[in-house]
Amino acid sequence: MSGEGESNPMNRVKLGSVTVNICVGESGERLLNAAKILEQLTGQKPVFRKAKKTIKSFRIRKGEPIAVVVTLRGERAREFLDRALEAVGRKLKRESFSDTGVFSFGIREHIDIPGTKYDPKLGIVGMDVCVTLEKPGYRVARRRRKRSKVGRRQRVTPEEAMRFMVENFNVTLVGGGKGG
């Protein structure tokens, strides 16, 4: 069956999107600084995200902006992912791969990303990077007109996602867990 998957162009895994999230937990100057850092790193204007509910112990009110997010696609996504993987030493945990071709990892300090300069006015922030892998034809689940479900064979398995990352980004997989 693996021979069939290699020759069929509809079974080739590709990079769908890279979502970068910085959650500060409060609105104000720290959030604006995080937005500036994210814009410098990705070259794209970030979107502000609001709190879904009030959490008194964290002093968060419902509707208050607490995070900034950027979604990258295409060549920008590939370039940023390559730099972000350098920040974590090109190592990913096997447990971070989900059943749907999505995996995430965190970066403790944004200055770990190669080519990033430290600015004392902006400070240091950590971020979460979420990567979505997909196969051709996955658009049917996202399109507006005649939206449909994606077939089981067209979804990316954890094993396929791990193989894609090892072959295309020279990633080392660590820890036990799913797949091989």
Residues of the chain with pLDDT under 50: 1
What pTM, to 2 d.p., does this model score? 0.84
Q: What's the confidence (pLDDT) of residue 20? A: 95
The helix/strand count (H/E) of the chain reads as 4, 7
- Read off the CATH number of the domain in which 61 is found: 3.30.1440.10
**Residue matched to tokens 């996504």:** 77
Cβ atoms of 158 and 180 closer than 8 Å: no
Q: Does residue 107 form part of some domain?
A: yes
Q: Does residue 4 form part of some domain?
A: no
Closest to 77 (Cα-Cα) out of 132, 5, 134, 121: 132
Token couple for 146: 């005649």
Q: Does residue 113 form part of some domain?
A: yes
Q: Does residue 165 form part of some domain?
A: yes
Q: How far apart are CA 13 and CA 100, in angstroms?
A: 12
Cβ atoms of 56 and 34 closer than 8 Å: no
What is the chain's alpha carbon radius of gyration, rounded to the nearest angstrom? 18
Q: How far apart are CA 16 and CA 134, in angstroms?
A: 6
Q: What's the confidence (pLDDT) of residue 91? A: 92
Q: Does residue 126 form part of some domain?
A: yes
Q: Does residue 179 form part of some domain?
A: no
Query: Residues 72-93: pLDDT tens digits?
Result: 999 999 999 999 999 999 999 9
Q: Does residue 122 form part of some domain?
A: yes
Domain count of the fold of the chain: 1
**In the chain, which ranges are continuous DSSP H helix?**
2-7, 29-42, 74-87, 158-169
Q: What's the confidence (pLDDT) of residue 6? A: 66
Q: How far apart are CA 120 and CA 78, in angstroms?
A: 29
Please give the backbone phi and psi of residue 59, each rounded to the nearest 5 degrees, phi first: 60, 45
Q: Does residue 7 form part of some domain?
A: no
User: Range of 133's domain?
Assistant: 14-174
